[in-house]
Amino acid sequence: MAKRYLSWLDGRTDAMSSESGAATILADMAWTAGIGRSHFAHRAGLRFKDVPSLKDALRTLAEAGIDADAPPPQPATRVAFLYAGDASRWADMGRKLYDTEPTARAILDFCDSVAREVRGASLLDAMFGQDGALDDPSWAQPAIYSLESATTALWSDIGIRPDVVIGYGVGEISAAQAAGVFSLEDGMRLSLTRGEFAAKSSDLDSLQSTLANIRLSPPTVNLISGADGEPADAAAPMDASYWIRQANEAVPTEARAFALANLGTDVTVEIGPDFVKAVAKAYEAGLPVSFEGLFTGETRRRISLPTYPFQRRRHWI
């Protein structure tokens, strides 16, 4: 199949001679391949930015081949979302998603409005513009929360929702929001206050005051607790004392990994910076990706693409 796509690309050299022409054709190709083809157990997800990078990926795939006698891989059925903590920040974080993904932009704008209300300053300025702003936990933590929440919504757009969520540090707030413990707005308020708490190593009164005004609910999916490394008890909310303890203590990674294994998940999706790469890996694992969600806000057209090279056999009746 990879060789067929290489031939298909070679036959459209003139049409893709300009950067704009190539971008349109490649986007239509990806859209058609996603929604206009059946998806089998043996599958590959390729990430590319232009014709040369796509050809390189296709050549690598063609050279690797597959073992025709090997049994088909079993598709993943139980998904865990992993939310990283305070170290998952970088300059200009979230800018690409903000510029290209309407769903992400709407959530980041909402979180920015909460930050402006609480602090009188822009979260997006800290994420996109101010040098060194994200070295300050008071901005880094709400930035991580808002971007992880936006990325969770993108996964929902493509039909992938978690069976289990787990988070580290401020990432546990993102995980809890994904599990329905509190609203997007309340999670943002908590991350703003938690960030200030981390920056000052004090201000416990402010953290308690924020939590007193947050409605806490039982998780709607399995949420592995950062306080004890066990699945949270769905029979009772994770109360304010839990989140105060969570801001001060960390459970060893091994305990949470053990709990994750015990819940029977067979694929873990990292809610991190490279959304497209993660989608490709999830697709290869057999998850039922809804490709329409990758093209939200775009108008694409179906084009003629190579068909699957099925093995044909003659049968007599």
Percent of the chain at pLDDT > 90 equals 60
| Structure tokens belonging to residue 299 | 């108008």
Complete edge-to-edge strand list for the sheet that includes strand 79-83:
222-224, 164-167, 79-83, 267-271
| Structure tokens belonging to residue 206 | 């402010």
User: Cα–Cα distances in Å, from 49 out to 10, 19, 26, 298?
Assistant: 17, 11, 9, 17
Position 234 pLDDT exceeds 60: no
HSE-CB of 162 using CA atoms within 13 angstroms: 31
Position 271 pLDDT exceeds 90: yes
Q: At what angle do helices 19-35 and 51-64 cross, to 10 degrees?
A: 40
Higher pLDDT, 267 or 72: 267
- pLDDT tens figures, 141-181: 999 999 999 999 999 999 999 999 999 899 999 999 999 99
pLDDT of 285 reads 92
Position 312 pLDDT exceeds 60: no
pLDDT of 1 reads 86
- pLDDT tens figures, 81-113: 999 887 777 778 999 999 999 999 999 999 999
Which range in 73-77, 233-237, 297-301 is most confidently predicted, on average pLDDT? 297-301
Enumerate the domain spans of the chain: 2-74+289-295, 79-276
Binned at pLDDT 50, 70 and 90, residue 198 comes out as confident
What CATH class does 79-276 carry? alpha beta
Binned at pLDDT 50, 70 and 90, residue 252 comes out as low
HSE-CB of 242 using CA atoms within 13 angstroms: 19
- pTM comes to 0.90
pLDDT of 313 reads 60
Mean pLDDT of 121-129: 93
